Amino acid sequence: MNEGERLTELAKRRGFYFPAADAYGGAAGFWTYGPQGAALKDNIEDAWRDRFVVQAGHQEISAPDVMPEPVFEASGHLDGFDDMIVECGECGATHRADHIVEDNTDIEEAESLPNEEVMEIIASNDIPCPSCQASLADEPVDNFNLMFETNIGPGSSSPGYLRPETAQGIFVEFPQLSEYARNQLPFGVAQIGKAYRNEISPRKSLVRVREFTQAELEHFVDPEEDEPPLSTVEDVTLPLYSGERQQADDGSVEQMTVGEAVETGVVTSDWVAYYLGIARDWYERIGIDMDRFRFRQHLPGELAHYASDCWDAEAEIDGDWIEITGFAYRGDYDLQKHAEYSGDDYTVFKQYDEPITVERPTVDPEMSYLGPEFGGDAQAVADALEQLAADDPDAFDGEEVSVDLDGESVTVPVDQTGFSVEEITENGEHITPHVVEPSFGVGRLIYTVLAHAYTEDEVDNETRTYLELPPEQAPTTVGVFPLMDRDGLGEYARQLAEGLRQAGHSVTYDDSGAIGRRYRRQDEIGTPYCLTVDYESLGDPEGDADPENLQTDTVTIRERDSTAQKRVSIDGLAETVERLVGGELTFDDL
Q: What is the DSSP string of 218-285?
A: EEEE-TTT----GGGTTT-EEEEE-HHHHHSTT---EEEEHHHHHHTTSS--HHHHHHHHHHHHHHHH
Which span out of 52-66, 149-163, 375-389, 525-539 was modeled with the highest average pLDDT?
A: 52-66
pLDDT digits (tens, 9 = 90+) for 455-514: 999 988 889 999 999 999 999 999 999 999 898 899 999 999 999 999 999 999 999 999
Please name the amino acid found at residue 365: P
Cα 488 from chain centroid?
49
CB atoms inside a 10 Å sphere around CB 401: 22
The pLDDT, as a whole number, for residue 542 is: 57
- Compute the mean pLDDT over every residue in the chain, rounded to the nearest whole number: 93
Query: Domains along the chain?
Result: 58-75+146-347+432-459 (3.30.930.10), 82-145 (3.30.40.230), 359-427 (3.30.720), 476-589 (3.40.50.800)
| Dihedral, CA of residue 500, residue 504, residue 508 and residue 510, to nearest 10 | 20
pLDDT, greater one: 459 or 276:
276
Q: Is the CB of residue 557 less than 8 Å from the CB of residue 531?
A: yes
Which of 426, 424, 425, 433 is CA-nearest to residue 345? 433
Is pLDDT of 307 > 80? no
pLDDT digits (tens, 9 = 90+) for 228-255: 999 999 999 999 999 999 988 878 999 9
pLDDT digits (tens, 9 = 90+) for 143-196: 999 999 999 999 888 999 999 999 999 999 999 999 999 999 999 999 999 999
The pLDDT, as a whole number, for residue 589 is: 92
Portion of the chain with pLDDT greater than 70, in percent: 97
Which of 510, 511, 516 is CA-nearest to residue 461? 516
Is pLDDT of 18 > 80? yes
**Bridge partners (DSSP) listed for residue 144:** 83
Global pTM exceeds 0.95: no
**Bridge partners (DSSP) listed for residue 216:** 191, 439
Residues 50 and 546: their CA atoms lie apart, in Å, by 49
**Bridge partners (DSSP) listed for residue 451:** none
CB atoms inside a 10 Å sphere around CB 576: 18
Is pLDDT of 22 > 90? yes
pLDDT digits (tens, 9 = 90+) for 392-439: 999 999 999 999 988 899 999 999 999 999 888 888 899 999 999 999
Output the CA–CA distances (angstroms, integers) from residue 3 to 36, 173, 204, 385, 442, in the order listed: 19, 42, 11, 65, 19
Is pLDDT of 85 > 90? yes
Could you write out the three-class secondary structure of 15-30?
CCEEECCHHHCCCCCC
Which of 494, 505, 479, 501 is CA-nearest to residue 558? 479
Alpha helices in 125-217 (DSSP H): 167-171, 174-180
